[in-house]
Structure 1
Amino acid sequence: MLATLIYRSQPTGAFDPSGLAELVGKAWLQNVQLQVTGILLFDGEHFLQVLEGPLASVNTVFARINHDTRHHNVVELLRDFAPHRRFANHGMLLLDLQKQRPAAVLRAILRFGTLKYQLASNDRVYKFIRHFIASSGHTAGVRHTAPDQWRFVVKTPPFLTGAAPDSADQPCQFAFQPIIEPQREKISSLEALIRGPGGGSPQEYFSTIAPEKLHEADLASKGWALAMARRLGIGNHKVAINLLPMSLVKIPGAVDILLDHITRNHLRPGQIIVEVTEDEVISGYEEFTWAIRQLRAAGIGLAIDDFGSGFAGLSLLAKFQPDKLKIDRTLVTDIHLHGPKQAIVKAIIECCAELQIAVVAEGVEKIEEWCWLEAVGIQRFQGFLFARPMLNGVSPVSWPQRVIK
């Protein structure tokens, strides 16, 4: 199987530009033995490398590249498969944009990759190369802070911890996790995450409910969530509750039931954010639309949760324009290493900026992820890096502070 891999990276202080030709010469010999071909472009600030060959060989070369301390911020841009090589008989071709004019580089690439080897001006790999060359002299990626520029200071939030459930026969419990704005050291809201009666997983809880009772139980559980929020002493903070979209459709008077839960627990509608996921089929769009209008008219906020994990996210975004959009952890995980995820998240941010929708990155576990996401303009975050969910309470928050050197 012939694989294609493209990555971008930046040189570190350990890289000596004068030794670039020698470095490529050694790589050429190693790549020939592995039947890997490709090119390396360098513009003084970034590398762009194309690798082609057997899948196992390309993976071997890329693993070696990832451990090379002469560069960092290695971002995978493309993994693909092809019937033919684009670059034949070259273990590694070096093209230095500091020494060659862009037009000459492009001509050289087209010469080395002839039509016989499926390289033409409309080829996808060629377009990556052309974009890199056009971006030379600007930033080819995102200039974010390095992880070692930050330390974390743990502070306990002003909420009660270890509050007891409202009733001994309560069918579910809730763990609360803060959504924070790190640079302002502010808790934006608390998300109430459903747990089983003994603190088990959401799957454990919902597995005990008959399918025909699922939406009724989903809506009823929000009363327990808001009761716990009240006992935690959330004050004027907001609390986010997750609702299956069809719970608003199938349960008569669902919005009135929710408003009753809010009133009984001495909270205000403006403190509540209803998060709907995109992974449940909405079969009654008219009824759902009417329920959303009722929520908004009452002052309750709306968020799309797990955006990017399902099939209906763009449709929900276009139809309902929520107050908040939460980017799913599948897009967040290792985003600092993954070009396609970066492109998608940048597009989401740009779209939400046009629509005045707040963006939350959820599932943030690594400081590298946070550094990249913060650099592209995201201000609100949720994840283990900052605070884990706590059953019947809110755990201490780890706040990032810049290291002064």
Structure 2
Amino acid sequence: MKKALIVTYYWPPAGGPGVQRWLKFVTYLRDFDIEPVVYIPENPGYPLLDKSLVDEIPTGIRILKQPIFEPYKVAEIFSKGDSKTISSGIIAKEQEQSAIQKLMLFVRGNFFIPDARKFWIKPSVRYLKLVLEKEMFDVLITTGPPHSLHLIGLALQKSVGIKWIADFRDPWTEIGYHKKLKLTQSSRQKHLNLESEVLNKADHIITTSHTTKAEFESKTTRPIRVITNGFDKLQEEPITSDYFEISHIGSLLSGRSPEILWKAIAEIVEDVPDFRNKLKIRLAGKISSEVKENIIELGLQKYLQIEGYVSHKEALELQNRASILLLLEIDSVETRGIIPGKIFEYFAAKKPILSIGPVSWEAGKMVLDSQSGTYLLYSDKEKVKSWILDQFYQKEAQGVKQITSDISKYRRRELTGELADLIKKI
């Protein structure tokens, strides 16, 4: 049996999508004759917690830990709310940022390169070097963000010569929020240099999207493989609701909330009494204040139900009772390759998906290719209205439409098989 040392920051009880990918890979790797050993921080400052995920850690998995210094914990002394918000990835528009937010973003962008977990690099390298000198591993895997973990892989590859796979759940320098970090030219160049070194030294690179793969192929000749995120099992029985529930599961940033969607819903409410009497808008997760204000300004507050952060189990229940599932992305070139992890569990829920995002958005194309819903642009308000009304009348006449397309290639066990194949070849 081969052995893989997996370096990850996010691990239960961390909540959010970042923890799911490697928790599930670790769950299934033994089925493919690979023994995973997981290295995580001993005292992390996770912005989201989901203690229910602890029960999903496979029995007998060996977990190594070392302390980490978290600058965000220091920042909380000055502003706990701003620190939590920024570390969760919710960044207000420039004109609406407070002085303390602007300062935090500047410090985050220019003093913590590549990110605020940089202080874990040196102690991790020292500790893992001793582990690797005493014990044989076939491969080292680092997963980011935080991309500072790839620098752990880079240093260990140099010092002990282990084969190294760098897994990118998101891009590095081309991710949308980089522009909001108030980077100096010098800091921007440092990021580019570190990214280039990782991309050109890793033995193999994994991305979660073809768009990110294409971006990286312009920067390196190293082999790159796309292994998407996925789902565990299909929904067995839908939960019926008397309401027409339009639901979004996950963080909803200000830029990720298309105003045309809320305007379209407001216009339908005005024009269609039956729709008005049955509408419910359910948002679960971290929701920016701008999103709430936008919805309220359009007179939709009586239909709005904000669930706050919910456990993974509760998220699945909300998906299963929805009439429409919202998949939303910021309207920019940088976000074309972003595939939210929720899309795969949306597929498994077999409910119609309304995806609204940038031109050539890979996730939107996946919705169309899987025949799971529609993909529209920020300029398509009338199409949004028409599609929502079609789904409403469908539910009124026959119940919520159940999606029946084949999505088996996104099962997590199948995807772990692809990862195992790569590990054995490397």
| TM-score normalized with structure 2 length | 0.29
Higher percent of residues as helix: 2
Higher percent of residues as strand: 1
Which has the greater radius of gyration?
1
Greater RCO, 1 or 2 (C-alpha within 8 Å, sep 6+): 1
